[in-house]
Amino acid sequence: MVEVLVTGGAGFIGSNFVRYALARHPDWRVTTLDKLTYAGRRENLHDVLDHPQHAFVHGDILDAAVCAPLVERAELVIHFAAETHVDRSILGAGEFIRTDVEGTFVLLEAARRAPRLRRFVQISTDEVYGSVPTGASRETDELRPRNPYAASKAGADRLAYSYWATYNMPVIITRASNNYGPYQFPEKVIPLFVTNAIDGLPVPLYGDGRNVRDWLHVQDHCAALDLLIDQGADGEVYNIGGGNEVMNVDLTHRILATLGRPASLIQPVPDRPGHDRRYCLGTTKLRALGWAPHVPFDEGLRDTVDWYRRNEWWWRPIKEQDLAFRSYYRTQYGR
Ligand code: NAD
Ligand code: TDX
């Protein structure tokens, strides 16, 4: 049995990865370590919580006593746990520094003492490159993070790299573009706009709506990680980009059209401070290992919209009963 530790496995990408891993690797025993912050939910793992090859541990990556025994027995560590929402990092960066930077430090320290460790995957992000006006980011490009979330992820990214360079640890770093798919917390643009539109509520589009994101289906992300766990080279960085550059305003029109809602639901709101204009990832390095994205954006978006339509049990309690979410929404968007 291969012992696998997934941090942040109750979040959006982590839960999709746990499900993906259990389906594809009958010889993996997966332990999910998650603090269950506002974004982490047992519901995200509802169909695999009782899986015989899966164990769930409720704990904080900042707690060295919790991490040490879990990391010590792991062969693979896939480190997703983080504070992840840019808007929240603008409202207050403290939790981002603690979780994303210090939490990564705690895990890396534990990993230094893990006798069987074969791979530590630091899940980084395209945001570390900063805004990319033209062309595509390459793994060797300078990092120019421009918001507190991106800066905290860049810190963790380089810290993980330093543990390879200094201690020869088997670290790889992955930088993915914007993910979409099922179980994404409805603060991020796609699930927020889809669930608002289902209810006929306005969708708050920042600024002129012409910012560009490079969309990656979460299943394609999981497949890339699976490949890199096996084929990635120690100390290397790999971009994982979907190759679907879409302007926010076009994305919004597509979502509304899929749901048969009018464009009049679009509500222009003041721009996000420091709003990165465009991300775009070059993926030559990853493609050379045999990966390509398989989910066409139109199909992936339609299926994702459908998923939120069919799974109101999953998002309505967050949007309608979770007082913390309602308070965040009011702070961010007003009434
Ligand atoms: P998410 O916010 O949905 O999930 C984060 C998870 O981490 C939650 O389950 C949360 O409970 C857990 N967590 C937070 N603090 C913790 C702590 N101190 N200890 C243990 N668990 C903790 O995020 P996501 O969108 O699934 O992102 C996962 C990872 O992928 C993050 O590292 C993020 O930076 C990265 N990433 C995300 C995207 C994207 O588009 N969503 C793109 C590129 C990279
Ligand atoms: O209400 C909104 N209105 C709006 O116009 C929200 C929430 C977003 N937007 C815009 C801002 C961005 O240009 O949509 C775009 C996407 O926004 P988010 O979903 O907040 O994602 P982004 O800021 O691009 O960051 C995401 O991609 C990189 C993830 O949240 C990060 O965790 C990941 O690292």
Q: What is the pLDDT of residues 263-273, one digit of tens each?
A: 999 999 999 99
The ligand with the least distance to the CA atom of 105 is 1
Residue 66 · residue 42 · CB < 8 Å: no
Q: 201 falls in which pLDDT band (50, 70, 90)? A: very high
- Reply yes or no on whether the pLDDT at 125 is more than 80: yes
- Distance in Å from the first CA to the final CA of the chain: 52
The ligand with the least distance to the CA atom of 270 is 2
Q: Residues with Cβ < 8 Å from 119, sequence gap 6 or more?
A: 75, 76, 77, 170, 172, 229, 232
Q: What is the mean pLDDT of residues 198-225?
A: 98
- Reply yes or no on whether the pLDDT at 134 is more than 90: yes
Cα atoms in the 13 Å half-sphere on the side-chain side of 71: 27
Distance CA 96, CA 85 (A): 9
pLDDT tens digits, 273-284: 999 999 999 999
Predicted local distance difference test score (pLDDT) of residue 255: 98
15 lines ligand 1 (CB under 6 A): no
Q: Give the other-Cβ count within 10 Å of 140's Cβ.
A: 7
Query: Which pTM was predicted?
Result: 0.99
The ligand with the least distance to the CA atom of 86 is 2
Which ligand 2 atom lies nearest to the CA of residue 333?
Answer: 1
Which ligand 2 atom lies nearest to the CA of residue 179?
Answer: 27
Distance CA 122, CA 101 (A): 11
Which residue ranges does the chain devote to CATH 3.90.25.10? 186-213+247-277+300-333
84 lines ligand 1 (CB under 6 A): yes
- Reply yes or no on whether the pLDDT at 109 is more than 90: yes
Q: Which of 80, 124, 246 to mutate to test the pocket of ligand 1 (most atoms within 8 A of CB)?
A: 80
Predicted local distance difference test score (pLDDT) of residue 16: 99
Which ligand 2 atom lies nearest to the CA of residue 251?
Answer: 14
pLDDT tens digits, 249-262: 999 999 999 999 99
For residue 104, how far is its CA from the centre of ligand 2 (angstroms)? 23
Predicted local distance difference test score (pLDDT) of residue 12: 99
Active site residue 34: no
Q: What is the mean pLDDT of residues 187-197?
A: 98
Q: What is the chain's Cα-based Rg? A: 19
Which residue ranges does the chain devote to CATH 3.40.50.720? 2-179+215-240
For residue 50, how far is its CA from the centre of ligand 2 (angstroms)? 33
Active site residue 126: yes
Q: Which of 34, 60, 127, 220 is catalytic?
A: 127
Q: Residues with Cβ < 8 Å from 104, sequence gap 6 or more?
A: 61, 79, 122, 155, 156, 159, 160
Q: What is the CATH number of domain 2-179+215-240?
A: 3.40.50.720
Q: What is the CATH number of domain 186-213+247-277+300-333?
A: 3.90.25.10
Distance CA 73, CA 303 (A): 38
Predicted local distance difference test score (pLDDT) of residue 22: 98
Q: 56 falls in which pLDDT band (50, 70, 90)? A: very high
Distance CA 130, CA 89 (A): 15
